[in-house]
Amino acid sequence: MGLSIVNLVLGTDSGIAGRKVLMTGANGAYGSVMKTRLEALGAEVATAKSGVDFTPGHYEPMREKLQWADLLVLAHGSRTLDCWNANYTTFVDLIETFVAIGRDRPSPPEVWAIGCEAEIFARAGKLQVQDYAKSKRAFMARSRGFNRSSKLIYRHIVPSNFTSSGGRGLMSAETAVAVSLFFLRRGFAYVPVTYTTLALWNYLPFRFGPTKDPQQPAE
């Protein structure tokens, strides 16, 4: 037991080695670094691309990969185009499909989903940013139910802005992934990757707030 506690504190026995990981968004700044780090930790990583391997409402090509995987990492998304489908619909549908496929497994499937501090904003600037924030808030509300479900192990990652193709941030994608893995390897279900502290303030609403099943906002 002592060794297990030491490993937990140090993050040296993460359970990542030997895992079969299916990752979306692996070509992005965060996803590409996460893929490399997971492989370095001994995981076998397969990838799926939004718009190629799956589209909203069409996930049949993903079934074989979802059956193979025991960990699903969702790191795709969009800040400007079709935000609702990119950041809400496909996240929810892929999680629910993965859980349904894995319902007879001896241990529940595990999901890591990348959120954003925009899910905490009440309003945010330009219309495109508002659409992005609405989709992120909707998924965060829905993810409370995943977090409380016995059908899966769900981990919610909430980073502050980091440098990517979408713009510069006050930390690099490498730093964002390193901080994420620090918490993930220690079993945290809510992972704040923040320099603004917003993600910290959001923990209690995430943990204890009501679960919701939002509908797509009217155009």
Segment 42-56, tens digit of pLDDT: 999 999 999 999 999
Q: Is the pLDDT of residue 210 over 90?
A: no
Tell me, what's the pLDDT at 165?
77
Q: Which two tokens stand for residue 92?
A: 């929810």
Where residue 218 falls among pLDDT bands split at 50, 70, 90? very low
Q: Is the pLDDT of residue 166 over 80?
A: no
Distance from CA of residue 151 to its chain's centroid? 17
Output 209 or 149, whichever has higher pLDDT.
149
- Smallest Cα–Cα separation from 146: which of 207, 217, 104, 70? 207
The phi-psi region of residue 73 (left if phi > 0; otherwise alpha if psi is between -120 and 50; otherwise beta) is beta
Mean pLDDT of 23-51: 97
The pTM assigned to this predicted structure is 0.89
% of the chain with per-residue pLDDT over 90: 72
Output 132 or 7, whichever has higher pLDDT.
132
Tell me, what's the pLDDT at 6?
41
Domains of the chain and CATH, by start:
16-208 (3.40.50.720)
Q: Is the pLDDT of residue 1 over 90?
A: no
Tell me, what's the pLDDT at 131?
86
Give the position of tokens 């479900």: 149
User: Is there a contact between 98 and 72 (Cβ–Cβ < 8 Å)?
Assistant: yes
Mean pLDDT of 187-216: 87
Strands of the 44-48 sheet, one edge to the other: 44-48, 20-24, 71-74, 110-114, 153-159, 190-193
Where residue 4 falls among pLDDT bands split at 50, 70, 90? very low
